Amino acid sequence: MDWLNISLKLPITDPTWIFLLVLLIILFAPMLLNKLRIPHIIGMILAGLVIGEHGFNILSRDSSFELFGKVGLYYIMFLAGLEMNMSDFKKNRSKALVLGLLAFIVPIVIGFVANVAYLKYSVITSILLASMYASHTLVAYPIVIRYGVSRNRSVSIAVGGTAVTDTLTLLVLAVVGGLFKGESGGFFWLWLVIKVVFLGALIMYSFPRIGRWFFRRYDDNVMQFIFVLALVFLGAGLMEFVGMEGILGAFLAGLVLNRLIPHVSPLMNHLEFVGNALFIPYFLIGVGMLIDIHVIFGQGDALKVAVVMIVMALTGKWIACWLTQKIYKMSVLERDLMYGLSNAQAAATLAAVLVGYNIILPTGERLLNDDVLNGTVLLILVTCVVSSFITERAARKMAMCEAHPEEGRHREEERILIPVANPDTLEYLMSLALVIRDPKQADNLLALSVVNDDNSSEGVEQRGKRYLERAAMITASADVSLKQITRYDMNIAAGIIHTAKEYDATDVIIGLHRKVNIVDSFFGMLAENLLKGLHREVMIVKFLMPINTLRRIVVAVPPKAEYEAGFSKWVEHVCRMGSTLDCRVHFFANEETTRPLKALVLDKYSLAKADFSLLDDWDDLLILTGQVNYDHLLIIISARRGAISYDSSFEKLPSQISRYFANNSLIVLYPDQLGDPQDVLSYFNPHGSNEAQHYERVGRWFYKWFKKN
């Protein structure tokens, strides 16, 4: 039985059993806590307390917890920057700055007074300790991701405020540390600020360009994942090199890579999965292992210090969030969500207390003594618990509130059909479908492989199945389901048309025809037959680079496009694409079409960054060549023959595209030709004209069209 005694010796040191125990905690803690209605984050911290050296001493906080813990901490900050709605953040950056300044100034002022007057600490000790009250870590951020409210403006404000507050806190930490290293003389402060600003500018300039270059050349998911992590740790390492904490570099890396990693992409799903499944729980368990309940409750001074720290931190953050709410007239729910996210103490707080604890004063005492060290651990526990509960409750209520408007409004069931036949374009087609789909609707993607009845080769069928499986892998990696359809028909076009009608497809996405010989038309017989047999929206697509590396979307809109039944739908798809990719959308149309187009975009899709310019001469698209660069996407809104917006100039589209835009990514979009064009007339009323005048205007267009044809 000697082997049993050896194996049960505590703490466990065998790496296999350490990793197994951590995995079991990560697996079973959420199951237990769901029944107790306790946030998962608290369970991880409490589990760390129980198994740590200050609990049952099952595990020691060895180098693995330090390594994985630091990765998890960087992951939290990186995901916070990556998940941020940049359009909303730019709109609310002044609010984030105000919250960040208040969350720094209020706790540090009231904390300094309490430290000097009640705890009787020195000025330097009181300043460093008060800065710990000001800092906060987005420990509860995974909760808002889980409830799907991470793109709410209060979350963007809290995340932006975190960057401001932690930057100021870490500057205080660097200055205090420099005072005791003999580095405070001369231009120490100025030099530190210069280094941080220069490095931040370097990261913001170079990382997006490096990332765009890499993503355009390498599409392997594993390589992209490793590349992104390398940039995160490069940013963190550079920040540590200049004297700051790495969390700022990780957060900044998330911000600058935000545009290159859409939140519906497979890469985003991989990043969130690995972080939430392994690294972040490891970090939380490691935080719990620092807590020493015996010391805290065994010494009166430690408990007194801990109570003061907790009260000052909680009170200061609440005052900051309350003032921000009152200044900008925000709702109570938004204030609660900001307070929950900005309440937890972990990263910068641990950094500050460890720096102060390791500084030995001339008297032989530590700048921050054992009471502060143990009080800090209790501060981390309490603030993480409070933060998790408040964030959980506020995020749940906000998710319910955001769900109500959609419940009362009828939305057409969306089904996007993607025929797959060319392995070179398959990934681009699926990426486009993921970007334009309605995320609130499930099972709205259909992939189709058509096998010609006249072709007896079994290889065609097997090849089609491989394409379908590859398409399913792409959508599954983005956590989106895909229905795979194999159909036998007399030809490809007939198979697509019959499938679209049977499954009531609302949109069809196909790749641009590769011209084989001089007899072939530009779009090919397949596209022409589809447009004749289907009246639903059809996108003919040509991408020369990954969709996530596009920087701008240019949309050419023909006259009278506002009278088509599919007008609102294609505008929604374009604006959704722009918001997801964080691209500016530039519409070109004549004055009559620009008015309703602008009204619709501002009314329903205000989050999209849209510009509007006049395009009076639709006959020649040469004017757009100066607006479309190699990394832009050109979308040309066309129309089927006989449609309201159809014009004879459309016959010249193939030659103009071939001549002017051969080296550009391109979508030629044919809108829905169903329904009543008068459905969208409510958006055409800039001058207050009555409904009868609108119907008269539509009638005139119909009359002119019939006379012309």
User: 704 pLDDT band (50/70/90 cuts)?
Assistant: very low
Tens of pLDDT along 127-171?
888 888 887 777 787 788 777 777 788 888 888 888 788 778 777
Tens of pLDDT along 462-474?
888 889 999 998 8
Q: What percentage of the chain has pLDDT greater than the value 90? A: 15
Nearest to 374 by CA among 309, 312, 302: 302
Site of tokens 């509007």: 612
pLDDT of residue 633: 93
Measure the CA–CA gap between 179 and 177, rounded to whole angstroms. 5
Measure the CA–CA gap between 548 and 633, rounded to whole angstroms. 11
Highest mean pLDDT among 508-522, 573-587, 610-624, 648-662: 573-587
- Looking at residue 278, the DSSP 8-state letter turns out to be I
CA dihedral 257, 241, 128, 157 (to 10 degrees): -10
pLDDT of residue 537: 92
Q: Which DSSP helix (H) or strand (E) runs through 417? A: strand 416-419
CB 670 within 8 A of CB 638: yes
**Between these two residues, 317 and 288, which has the higher pLDDT value?**
317
pLDDT for residue 3 is more than 60 = no
Q: Which of 305-309, 336-340, 618-622 comes out lowest in average pLDDT? A: 618-622
Q: What percentage of the chain has pLDDT greater than the value 70? A: 83
CB 413 within 8 A of CB 445: no
Tens of pLDDT along 241-264?
887 767 778 878 888 888 888 877
- The stretch 48-73 carries a mean pLDDT of 83
- The stretch 362-377 carries a mean pLDDT of 75
pLDDT for residue 305 is more than 90 = no
Tens of pLDDT along 411-423?
578 999 999 988 8
User: 1 pLDDT band (50/70/90 cuts)?
Assistant: very low
pLDDT of residue 538: 92
Considering the four listed CATH numbers 2.60.40.420, 2.40.50.140, 1.20.1530.20, 3.50.50.60, the one that applies to the domain covering 63-398 is 1.20.1530.20
**Between these two residues, 513 and 13, which has the higher pLDDT value?**
13
**Is the torsion defined by CA of 100, 103, 104, 105 positive or negative?**
positive
Highest mean pLDDT among 2-6, 280-284, 310-314: 310-314
pLDDT for residue 410 is more than 80 = no
Tens of pLDDT along 207-245?
999 999 999 888 888 899 999 999 999 998 888 888 776
Considering the four listed CATH numbers 3.40.50.620, 3.40.50.2300, 3.30.70.1450, 3.20.20.70, the one that applies to the domain covering 422-505 is 3.40.50.620
User: 446 pLDDT band (50/70/90 cuts)?
Assistant: very high
User: 447 pLDDT band (50/70/90 cuts)?
Assistant: very high
Highest mean pLDDT among 51-65, 556-570, 679-693: 556-570
Site of tokens 């800092």: 135
User: 38 pLDDT band (50/70/90 cuts)?
Assistant: low
Degrees, nearest 5: CA angle 493-541-617: 110
pLDDT of residue 403: 57
Highest mean pLDDT among 388-397, 400-409, 566-575: 566-575
Ranges of each domain in the chain: 63-398, 422-505, 506-709
User: 679 pLDDT band (50/70/90 cuts)?
Assistant: very low
pLDDT for residue 113 is more than 80 = yes
pLDDT of residue 375: 78
pLDDT for residue 123 is more than 50 = yes
- The stretch 520-545 carries a mean pLDDT of 81
Averaged confidence pLDDT in the chain: 80
Measure the CA–CA gap between 100 and 134, rounded to whole angstroms. 9
**Between these two residues, 223 and 608, which has the higher pLDDT value?**
223
**DSSP annotation string for 380-438:** HHHHHHHHHHHHHHHHHHHHHHHHHHHHHS--PPP-EEEE---HHHHHHHHHHHHHHS-
pLDDT for residue 650 is more than 60 = yes
What is each CA distance from 67 to 139, 277, 280, 454, in whole angstroms? 18, 16, 12, 61
